[in-house]
Structure 1
């Protein structure tokens, strides 16, 4: 969030690392963002929509603040998943929800999402994406970066949607990008600077099919 305005959700991987969507930082700098804890527009299809934010101060687990684990394997299509967030509750809603809301949705693998049999998004779905949704529940404005959870593991990060009835939402596939996440986390943790006053961010947000590794451009200290 930025002062007085909710932007995106995310999840806590450890005491320093927040996982969210890269497009949440499209027009703002990391030092402008604040992370709120323990509370009860895209031009093209984002191929790698993921960001990792290193906090200035550590966050420890409490009764209302918990870390989440990365997944070891991808769920099958039809697996029940949980999504939650403070996004708006409908097209007529004027603002975000005052309470954390959740919904049970069905996980849809990237191959099934892109298949003609499902007649969903076709060529817009890439190997770094998965889908999830239900007939009467979906992610909405303000839900970007929120997590898709299966068995207490984060399997997806809310990325984009066509906002059409009966069409599932699209999430960044955490299983596919787990190697990048682990490399980015290690790289950020190594950047120790006790005099630093600003947070560090690693972003992976591309609109092409060319995949790059962790480098000086993907890890940014502002």
Structure 2
């Protein structure tokens, strides 16, 4: 499992890793998943329920074990959090797409190259956004593997959104869920979030539902989607305070605001599509 980031967001911080789903691929890059395989499950969304088809969701895996989520945004590209790619080599990572269950169905893609935002600051969770380029091309399969619409306009306070992931489902983390989970949340205004957390700026989205609902370990890198399905955020961090309350403890969850990084994402995909 990817080491968690140390972030100076509150006196006591619980860092979290989040995830999501995907597509069918070209033969050179894909391997179908044997439903009899055993997976080491990590953690997922707290206080949510089983998600329906989420064809842009992806699971980043090492040794066939989930550690972070991601979003399919192009035939060769997965959007995720920069911290999910830290201290790993592309050859260590496969991407599972085309399923809402870790233990059955879907296809595995091989990672080819990682790109972390050049201004990513792991200590303050700034610019926590990254891209995984896969080997070969994914083939879309309607309802199973599709690229997401991403970015969009600046998301305003009060917007309803949905987080999906396979992370911990209990406030103390607990086991990973085999089935993709979802929870509905509401976007907080920047000032409201700054009143509760430090180092929050226009590059972030904060969300809150209620105590007992939110992201947890294993959710990092996964999508936050608006009501029309546009991916507006990438799971970056969750905060537990006091420490013994763990995940979804009554403070906002933090996401990289995708619209803030549209230019970097598109420029990177265009300039590094091949080679």
Shift of 1:70: 1.6
Residues 1-222 of structure 1 mapped to structure 2, 5 A cutoff: 1-40=61-100, 44-62=123-141, 63-114=143-194, 119-121=195-197, 123-135=198-210, 136-150=212-226, 151-164=228-241, 165-189=249-273, 191-192=274-275
Shift of 1:133: 2.1
Give 5+ residue unaligned stretches, structure 1: 193-222
Shift of 1:43: 6.1
**Pairwise CA RMSD:** 1.7
The answer to whether the 8 A contact 1:77-1:112 is kept is no
Residue aligned with 2:232, SS: strand
The answer to whether the 8 A contact 2:173-2:217 is kept is no
How does the TM-score come out when normalised to structure 1? 0.78
Deviations 1:110-134 (A, max 9, x none): 34311xxxx311x321221110121
Greater per-residue strand proportion: 2
Moved over 4 A (4+): none
Give 5+ residue unaligned stretches, structure 2: 1-60, 101-120, 242-248
Equivalenced residues, count: 185
